[in-house]
Amino acid sequence: MPTLGTEQNPLLVAIVGSGPSGFYAAEALLKSGLTVKVDMLERLPTPFGLVRSGVAPDHQKLKQAIKLYEKIAHSPDFNLIANVTVGVDISVAQLCASHHAVIFACGAESDRKLGIPGEDLKGSYTATEFVGWYNGHPDYRDCVFDLSHAVAVIIGQGNVAADVGRILAKTVDALKHTDIAQHALDALAESKIKEIHIIGRRGPTQAKFTPKELREFGELPDCHSIVLPEDMILNPESEKELAEKNNIASKKIYDLFCAFSKCDIDHAKSRKCFFNFLMSPKELIGHERLEKIILEKNILSGASFQQSASATGETVELETGLLFRSIGYRGVPLTGVPFADNQGLIPNDKGRVLDSNANIVLQMYAAGWIKRGPSGIIGTNRACSVETVECLLHDLTRLDDGNKKAGADAVLSILNDKKHRYINYDEWQKIDAKEIERGKIKGKPREKYTSIRDMLSVID
């Protein structure tokens, strides 16, 4: 058998997931200098993962990362096999039989729970549901959020919490020329929300927003951002954190909060967004649905950069009918692939998947959020996927078991036998063109199809 990665014996890699980490893994493989065929499997008929359905509609520039993914997808050695759920329509074992290696880049689709009483009351939701809903993700299109309350609460102080807060804080006029789903725009037009509380368990120097996301809260046309001046008084450990020269992002965040705390309230603006610190949700209370939240005040302890929040016992109540939790994400286990339940990801060493005894599972690799957890921004996944592909290429001799692999042909034959309707990249481009055309009439960059049936109707 000729060496793996040559024209006579191309390296066949299946990538599960078509978000940033999947595409950066594909890019690294296709640029490796070896002869490689990449088959990318995607659960939905539409590619690009969280760039399509996670990045907020008012952040269109960030979505231009897709331009690079389109270039990668046009490589003759790249195949998109979309509308295929790995573990349902095709098994992991089948992929391992048809390909030399499988890279799992399927993200973290589930939320961390608060673990408090009342969490499942009507009115208490995950940020994932809300983000998926306004971005037109087919899984969340039928969600209904009651926006008739005056007060909304968001638990968590990362960029997803910021996105949720900002979409609630913006007027429909500020959103109508984005690619926000029409159903979300219609519902937000009726929103009665006047007050948004974004709550963090630690202090202003530990908030996880990027400065860019937080800065937008100072520039909202109809919402005033508020921080209490007393919340800006720091303990000595937090002061030390701010003084650290490499901690420039926290310094910028702190300065932005300071500016919010010093700003006079602009009564011409109809909405207010409060950033609350050192508080954790203790209980959600309501009869049929959420009526109020009990928050417990926290105190920080521990050395700088390792400070943790602990409850003081002092509580405050906040009346609210709408709560979103955004305290982190978890991967979803995939049959036939090891899973670390406590961390919510695939256990791995630099991307090489490990079994429960920490032994390397040959052929299996992980990249992106399912590899390292839900941290970083789009570009973070590039370095992450490059590391995984470096490991894979290093393992080349072990990946060749001497048997000829059928690659995409085997996958498509399994799907055809099941009469499963998969979608290739050309077909996605038809859906893409139609969405852009639908958007044009409304002055939007695109109007997404939000049901799989509608997506398929464009091409069938």
| Binding of other proteins by 258 (CB under 8 A) | no
| Binding of other proteins by 252 (CB under 8 A) | yes
Of the pair 124, 250, the CB lying nearest other proteins is at 250
CB of 111 to other proteins, least distance (A): 24
DSSP conformation class of 128: H
Site mask for other proteins (CB under 8 A), range 170-199, x = bound: ------------------------------
| Binding of other proteins by 245 (CB under 8 A) | yes
β strands within 110-165, DSSP E: 110-111, 124-126, 151-155
CA distance 285 to 22: 41
Of 72, 334, 59, nearest to 50 by C-alpha is 59
Cβ neighbour number for residue 289 with a 10 Å cutoff: 14
**Which residues are within 8 A (CB) of 254 and not within 5 positions of it... i.e. 6 or more apart?**
204, 205, 232, 242
Site mask for other proteins (CB under 8 A), range 3-22, x = bound: -----------------x--
CB of 387 to other proteins, least distance (A): 9
The binder of other proteins chosen from 211, 333, 336, 445 (CB under 8 A): 211
Work out the angle at residue 89's Cα, subtended by the Cα atoms of residues 85 and 90, and round it to the nearest 5 degrees.
95
Contacts of other proteins in 316-345 (CB under 8 A): none
The count of residues interacting with other proteins (CB under 8 A) is: 27
The binder of other proteins chosen from 7, 8, 33, 67 (CB under 8 A): 67
Stretch that binds other proteins, among 8-16, 59-67, 222-230, 432-440 (CB under 8 A): 59-67
Stretch that binds other proteins, among 63-71, 233-241, 309-317, 358-366 (CB under 8 A): 63-71
| Binding of other proteins by 215 (CB under 8 A) | yes
CA distance 181 to 189: 12
CB of 207 to other proteins, least distance (A): 15
380-394 vs 20-30: helix crossing angle, rounded to 10: 50
CB of 31 to other proteins, least distance (A): 8
The binder of other proteins chosen from 29, 30, 38, 65 (CB under 8 A): 65
CB of 248 to other proteins, least distance (A): 6
65-73 vs 20-30: helix crossing angle, rounded to 10: 50
| Binding of other proteins by 64 (CB under 8 A) | yes
Inter-residue contact 164 to 127 (CB < 8 Å): yes
Any idea which residue has 């009651």 for tokens? 146
CB of 441 to other proteins, least distance (A): 26
Stretch that binds other proteins, among 65-73, 176-184, 230-238, 336-344 (CB under 8 A): 65-73
Cβ neighbour number for residue 267 with a 10 Å cutoff: 7
CB of 213 to other proteins, least distance (A): 9
Stretch that binds other proteins, among 3-11, 147-155, 209-217, 358-366 (CB under 8 A): 209-217
Indicate the helix (H) or strand (E) that contains 301: strand 292-301
Site mask for other proteins (CB under 8 A), range 384-403, x = bound: --x-----------------
**Which residues are within 8 A (CB) of 204 and not within 5 positions of it... i.e. 6 or more apart?**
227, 231, 232, 234, 253, 254, 257, 275, 277
Please classify residue 408 by burial: count the beta carbons closer than 10 Å to its beta carbon, then call 0-12 exposed, 13-18 middle and 19+ buried: middle
Dihedral over Cα of 456, 178, 41, 91: its sign: negative
Of 72, 47, 81, 50, nearest to 63 by C-alpha is 50
Stretch that binds other proteins, among 7-15, 174-182, 244-252, 415-423 (CB under 8 A): 244-252
| Binding of other proteins by 248 (CB under 8 A) | yes
Q: How far is CA 236 from the centre of its chain?
A: 34
Question: What is the token pair recorded at 422?
Answer: 């998969």
CB of 72 to other proteins, least distance (A): 11
The binder of other proteins chosen from 147, 242, 249, 311 (CB under 8 A): 249
Contacts of other proteins in 345-384 (CB under 8 A): 376-383
Looking at 211-333, list the stretches that DSSP marks H as alpha helix, in order from N- to C-terminal side: 211-215, 236-243, 248-262
Cβ neighbour number for residue 378 with a 10 Å cutoff: 17
Of the pair 66, 187, the CB lying nearest other proteins is at 66
Question: What is the token pair recorded at 142?
Answer: 């039928």
CB of 49 to other proteins, least distance (A): 13
CB of 231 to other proteins, least distance (A): 23
CB of 162 to other proteins, least distance (A): 13
CB of 215 to other proteins, least distance (A): 6
Kind of pairing between the strands at 348-349 and 352-354? antiparallel
Sheet holding 101-104, edge to edge: 78-82, 36-42, 11-16, 101-104, 360-366, 352-354, 348-349
- Which residues of the chain form contacts with other proteins (CB under 8 A)? 20, 24, 31, 61-62, 64-65, 67-68, 210-212, 215, 245-246, 248-249, 252, 376-383, 386
